[in-house]
Amino acid sequence: MLENGDLIFVKDDSDIGQAIQESTGQYSHVAIFLDGQVYHATVEGCVLAQSPEEFFEAGKVYDLYHYEQIDGAEVKKRAESLLGAPYNASFYPDGDGFYCSQFVAEILPIFETIPMKFGDDTQEISDFWREYYRELGLPVPLNQPGTNPSQLAVSPLLVCKERNLYDSYF
């Protein structure tokens, strides 16, 4: 089922997951599968590697994409060198650590940056993001260069392998 280099895109209904999806598209998180482990940057802490059993959660939807030209050994070496790096909760391009799509783009450097978006259907900056950045004491990094999971998923370099992975994985 899972192959080396598969990118796992996540849809979830947490508050931050919904805010990310409303601002950027259908996905709120991205991870990469390498040699039996799922590597990703988590809002709960840092860049880490987990078994698929630890990573997959009931109630979330997972779509699987693959990059055919991946050099799995090189990407894994890059991923392992970043294990333990902090989570970049500011989403600033020069912020400390990595957010999920920033981590994947760092270890698999095939993606461009795009202007960051924090709006929803009605506002350029949604109420969720206004409050989020107020609590951080930072301005919203609107239009700063960055990445997001939905942007990575539409890359012409990726092939969609499977949708709703959770049901078929377990």
* Domain locations in the chain as residue ranges: 6-111+148-162
φ, ψ at 141 (rounded to 5°): -80, 45
Q: 98: which 2 tokens? A: 């990595």
CA-to-CA distance for 34 and 37, rounded, in angstroms?
Answer: 5
Contacts of 115 (CB under 8 A, 6+ apart): 142, 143, 144, 145, 146
CA atoms within 13 A on the CB side of 138: 12
| pLDDT the model gives residue 86 | 96
Give the rounded percent of residues in the chain with a pLDDT score beyond 70.
96
Phi-psi region of 17 (alpha: psi -120 to 50; beta: other; left: phi over 0): alpha
For the cut 80, the answer to whether the pLDDT of residue 164 exceeds it is no
Query: How confident is the model over 7-38, as pLDDT tens digits?
Result: 999 998 889 999 999 999 999 999 999 999 99
| pLDDT the model gives residue 169 | 55
For the cut 90, the answer to whether the pLDDT of residue 147 exceeds it is yes
Give the fold, CATH level 3, of 6-111+148-162. endopeptidase fold (from Nostoc punctiforme) (3.90.1720)
Residue 1 pLDDT level (bands cut at 50, 70, 90): confident
For the cut 70, the answer to whether the pLDDT of residue 71 exceeds it is yes
3-class DSSP state for residue 41?
strand
Helix (H) or strand (E) holding 133: helix 127-136
| Average pLDDT over every residue of 90-99 | 95
| pLDDT the model gives residue 167 | 56
